[in-house]
Amino acid sequence: MNRQMVMMWLVVLGLISGVCVQAGVGGLPDDPQKRQEMLKRFDKDGDGKLNAEEWLAARKERQEKRGGEKANLAAVPAGVKAMRDVEYARVDGKPLLLDLYLPAKAAQPMPVIVWVHGGAWRAGDKKRCPAIPMAAQGYAVASINYRLTDVATFPAQIYDCKGAIRWVRAHAKEYGFDPDRIGVWGGSAGGHLVALLGTSGDVKELEGDVGGNLDFSSRVQAVAVFCGPSSFRIEDLKGREDTQEGKTPDTIAKLLGGTIQEKPELARLASPAAHVTPDDPPFLIVHGANDPIVPVQQAHIQAVALKKAGVEAVLHIDPEAGHGVMNAKTIKLAEEFFDKQLKGKASCTKPGSAPAPN
């Protein structure tokens, strides 16, 4: 990447980073002063690190302090047109929105990157989108919102994501999208949802009808998962302090509308690794070795399932990172991955313009 592009990535990183960005053990920043300040404020059990709930409390305060619409908007590169708050569906009379970033000069039809934000399925917003600079490299970028858990439980979230993919295909001619070259990228809860987009193309129960456009497929051609959950079995969540003695983490219970024990079938339905089949698209899986929110074994579970099925999967574990793996190096990995999968082929082997499964 040239100097201008590197600076653009750094600007975006500064806007989307949480409290635990390039963190060490327990999700703490490397800076000693900031580390001590965070421990003093949020380490309630005095163990010298932040557990899942302590980390989420720290991140929430940081985001509230940042606040403001201006701070939430990542910089748009020169030569890129931003179209914000485009309605892609309406549910119960309320709009579901996405932001589009389109290059002014690019060969059409353009490959598309759809960003799905994180936030434990209960928070977050489309405005923080690390994929925006890719619009300067010939991609159309769409950053989507979806229903959060204070509005609806699963599978509403994946229904919304699939509705957005169908919307992209239905409007391909209008905006110059290539309907057969759609990649998805997400972090944390967004990582879970993009992984599910990648593995559930043949799962009728997860299709839904949000936004209509049911003559178009919701399949995708490339998936980049950053620190996303892949399996909601209790035994696969070991590593989180709040799963000791078989407890379901509160965020997952809120997503499912009950504990894993109470909703075993729904928990399996929500698990991307449970739906892997040989026709799934290629995956890039990036995770922090010291992640206190989503145990690193979740990345291994997804990668093993994909490789066992013969699906191309690249696994990158950052040995120093916690639940924050978004940095210049890993963004470059995503960029190279999408270039290979969406630009490196004259036509995709798994086209997406066919109708969705009945």
Q: State the pLDDT at residue 43.
A: 79
Range of the domain at 242: 79-343
Q: State the pLDDT at residue 32.
A: 62
Tell me which H or E stretch contains 299: helix 297-308
- Whether 336 is covered by a domain: the verdict is yes
**Taking all residues of the chain, what is their mean pLDDT, rounded to a whole number?**
84
Q: State the pLDDT at residue 21.
A: 33
At residue 146, does pLDDT exceed 60?
yes
Q: What is the number of structural domains in the chain?
A: 1
Q: Token digits for 287?
A: 């995770």
Q: State the pLDDT at residue 45.
A: 77
Q: To the nearest whole percent, how much of the chain has pLDDT over 70?
A: 78
- Whether 306 is covered by a domain: the verdict is yes
Q: Rounded to two decimals, what is the model's pTM?
A: 0.80
HSE-CB at 257 with a 13 A cutoff on CA atoms is 11
- Whether 44 is covered by a domain: the verdict is no
- Whether 282 is covered by a domain: the verdict is yes
Taking only Cα atoms into account, the Rg of the chain, rounded to an integer number of angstroms, comes to 19
- Whether 6 is covered by a domain: the verdict is no
Q: How far apart are the first and last CA of the chain?
A: 43
Q: Tens of pLDDT along 176-219?
A: 999 999 999 999 999 999 999 999 999 999 999 999 999 999 99
Min mean pLDDT across 19-28, 171-180, 260-269 is at: 19-28
Q: In what order do the strands lie in the sheet with 177-187?
A: 80-91, 94-103, 140-144, 110-116, 177-187, 222-226, 283-288, 313-318
- Whether 70 is covered by a domain: the verdict is no
Q: State the pLDDT at residue 99.
A: 97
- Whether 287 is covered by a domain: the verdict is yes
- Whether 65 is covered by a domain: the verdict is no
Q: Is 212 helix (H, G, I), strand (E, B) or coil?
A: coil
CATH number at residue 126: 3.40.50.1820
